[in-house]
Amino acid sequence: MDRFDAMRVFARIVERRSFTRAADDLALPRATVTDAIKALESRLGVRLLQRTTRQVTPTLEGEVFYGRCLRLIADMEDAEGAFRDTRPRGPLRIEVHGTLARHLLFPRLPAFLDAYPDIELDVSEGDRYVDLVREGVDCAVRVGKLRDSDLIARRLTLLAEATAASPDYCKRYGTPTDIDALQGDGHVMVGFKSTAIGALLPLEFQHEGRVRHVTLPTRVRVSGADSYVGAAFAGFGIIQAPRYRLDDYFAAGKLILLLELFPPLPSPVNIVYTRTRLPSPRLRAFIEWASNTFVSVRPSHLV
């Protein structure tokens, strides 16, 4: 194994905190990965990795070497691409919010795969926040306000949001005409527990240049986006969700649009990746594609 391949192996071990997971990612035998690190440490004369029974972490020297490896690997990939005029290639692991993936990204992915036939996508779909480095993810598409972090973020768009309830719910509780009527008339909401903050999210409304938060009683609480809409179908309460998820249900009469004059704040959509990993050509290609793909999203769904 040459030096650059050994650097790639070392970088993946640091990111995955595991020899076994790194070997699986790189499609290499576990023994080959172990031998490559032993040879690398012997050549440098320092210990790069601290091994425990639970995980592998870089030493201080390993942290410094990891940063230099990333720069060298990125420079080599750029140089090879420029001189060989090759297309971006190889595996790309992305994490996408589940409903956003199914409604907006997946229908448009064939165009990306046609443009970059040598890129292999590994898409993780979920509602939780993942540690990009520890889980070996190249980038994530996230909806909502970002946490403070050292991630690099690129804004993709703003998604319009709406307030909704089922026809059965409105028959039982009435259709609210203003924000104050929500609490005065005994309305209830479906509780959505955010995995980001670990608490139920209040309903949110824009009114006269201000944002008002309203927390209503809940009898049903969920933590998944699909369950949230499903609970609204069942008449369990009022919900707020992106318009791209609700408009078809409004048109079919399965849900009723509420308080249209007092919309929730729009939800930002960002693509994020770690500062410790220089974007590879395949990651840059995906970022550019994702930035452009929202141009074709239905205008009523965006802000």
What local confidence, expressed as pLDDT, does residue 220 receive?
A: 94
For every residue of 92-150, DSSP letters joined together read EEEEEEHHHIIIIIGGGHHHHHHH-TTEEEEEEEESS---TTTTT-SEEEEESPPPS-S
CA distance 277 to 15: 9
What local confidence, expressed as pLDDT, does residue 103 receive?
A: 84
In three-state secondary structure terms, 215 is: coil
Which helix (H) or strand (E) is 73 found in, with range? helix 60-84
114-to-12, 109, 111, 117 alpha-carbon distances in Å: 28, 9, 5, 6
For every residue of 41-53, DSSP letters joined together read HHHHTS--EEE-S
Sheet of 239-242: strands edge to edge? 239-242, 161-165, 256-258
Q: Contact 143/159 with Cβ under 8 angstroms?
A: yes
* Length, in residues, of the chain: 303
pTM of the model: 0.70
**Rg, Å, the chain Cα set:** 24
In three-state secondary structure terms, 235 is: coil
CA distance 34 to 281: 28
What local confidence, expressed as pLDDT, does residue 223 receive?
A: 87
> Please, which residues bridge with residue 256 across strands?
165
Those residues of the chain that have pLDDT short of 70 are: 77-86, 126-130, 133-134, 148, 195-198, 276-278, 295-303
Query: Given CA atoms 150, 156, 157, 161 in this order, what sign does their dihedral have?
Result: negative
The total of other beta-carbon atoms located within 10 Å of residue 169's CB is 25
Q: Contact 218/202 with Cβ under 8 angstroms?
A: no
35-to-10, 43, 56, 63, 136 alpha-carbon distances in Å: 11, 12, 15, 20, 21
Which of 21, 14, 71 is closest to 40 using CA atoms? 14
For every residue of 167-186, DSSP letters joined together read HHHHHHH----SHHHHHHTT
Distance of CA 26 to the CA centre of its chain: 23
291 — phi, psi (to 5°)? Answer: -65, -30
